[in-house]
Amino acid sequence: MSEDRRGVLLGTAAFVLWGLFPLYWPLLEPAAASEILAHRVLWSLLLSAIMLAVSRRTGALRIMWSVPRVRWALIGAGMTIGVNWYTYIWGVTNGYVVETSLGYYINPLVTVLLGVAVLGERLRRWQWVALALAFVAVIGLSLELGRPPWISLVLAFSFGSYGLLKKQAAVGPVAGLTYEGLVLAPLALGYLVWLSFVGQATAWSHGPDHVALLATTGIVTTLPLLCFAGSANRVSLTTLGLLQYIAPTLQFLIGVLVFDEPMPAVRWFGFSLVWVALTILTVESLVHSRRQTTAGTSGPAGVAAVEGGVVLDPDCLDQSPEPQRLPAPDHPGSR
């Protein structure tokens, strides 16, 4: 099997696993979203720390702490992914699967918007068109829902911010997940201790099977990340940008077909506008990338990552057994 095909299979596996998450989180009830999040943080930290120790790369944590830019970027990344995880789990377990899928559909568009607002990037004409369509879609969905689609917006902006922070940190996936887990672990552990103290911890009141299910949050969090990392090392950002739509599409189908969530006409219209916007964004990115290749130039990695909607730079996915020296920060003007 060629490396490219292996990369596509790994990427597909990662996004399929992420897309099936709406079927997984309800299995952990009656635990509330906050308790599930706390267990997810601690069990994924345990697993990633073991993997880091087995690969003899624990020194990466010391290096990350010693570089202020990386330290603060990963602290911010840990907090934003915590917000993202909680919002997603809460949305799925409270009957908003379709709205969570919208969050990951619009994530590439939000990432482009953050590139403009934070990195000072300039958008091309068709990118502006895509963003305008997405804005109209959000307005339409807000009118239909009677409120802004806040679950979708929080998911998209938190994940987009997470991607920008991880881009600044430029660390491997397992080391990064371990560091982020260390950031969140005191809060997670303190919360579980408090739940136990007030007698509301479901882990101790629903038997060993429930504890075992909560423990699976570690592998459920880590496995797709490793598949994604393996894929990102083998395929182009363009391929990853196309594969990423697997996850929200599966989430959308699960919400509509499995959980029978309502889809009135206005909501179909809003989603259709988002899908058109994503089609424009993807085609424009492919055409622009081909023109750059024909001209014998390649755009900055940060721009490619933003245009593909991918929030993790494969250059950051170091798989070597020894920790690498962290690269100097990119200047925003170079992106």
Q: How far apart are CA 214 and CA 223, in angstroms?
A: 15
pLDDT value, residue 198: 92
More confident residue, 222 or 168: 222
Residue 98 has pLDDT above 70, yes or no: yes
Residue 59 has pLDDT above 80, yes or no: yes
Interval 105-149: pLDDT, tens: 999 889 888 888 888 888 888 989 999 999 999 999 998 888 999
pLDDT value, residue 296: 62
**C-alpha distances in Å from residue 302, one per residue of 27, 218, 246, 305, 333:** 38, 30, 23, 5, 11
Assign 4 a pLDDT band (cuts: 50, 70, 90).
confident
pLDDT value, residue 329: 33
Judge whether 285 and 239 are in contact, CB under 8 Å.
no
Q: How far apart are CA 109 and CA 95, in angstroms?
A: 25
**Helices marked H in the chain:** 3-19, 21-24, 33-54, 59-66, 68-93, 97-105, 107-119, 125-145, 150-169, 173-197, 207-215, 217-232, 237-243, 246-253, 265-294, 301-308
pLDDT value, residue 166: 86
More confident residue, 75 or 167: 75
Q: What is the mean pLDDT of residues 60-70?
A: 89
pLDDT value, residue 242: 86
Q: What is the mean pLDDT of residues 288-311?
A: 51
pLDDT value, residue 331: 36
Q: What is the mean pLDDT of residues 225-249?
A: 86
Closest by CA position to 271, among listed 121, 147, 98: 98
**C-alpha distances in Å from residue 317, one per residue of 73, 175, 223, 239:** 16, 10, 15, 17
Average pLDDT, the chain: 85
pLDDT value, residue 307: 30
Give phi and psi for 300, each to the nearest 5.
-60, 145
Judge whether 99 and 156 are in contact, CB under 8 Å.
no
Closest by CA position to 79, among listed 32, 24, 37, 120: 37
Q: What is the mean pLDDT of residues 209-222?
A: 94
**C-alpha distances in Å from residue 61, one per residue of 49, 50, 191:** 10, 13, 25
Cα Rg of the chain, angstroms: 20
Token duo for residue 138:
């959000």
pLDDT value, residue 292: 75
Residue 274 has pLDDT above 90, yes or no: yes
Interval 8-34: pLDDT, tens: 999 999 999 999 999 999 999 999 999
Closest by CA position to 152, among listed 240, 89, 87: 87
Q: What is the mean pLDDT of residues 60-88?
A: 93
Q: How far apart are CA 206 and CA 224, in angstroms?
A: 28
More confident residue, 108 or 252: 252
For residue 132, the one-letter residue type is A
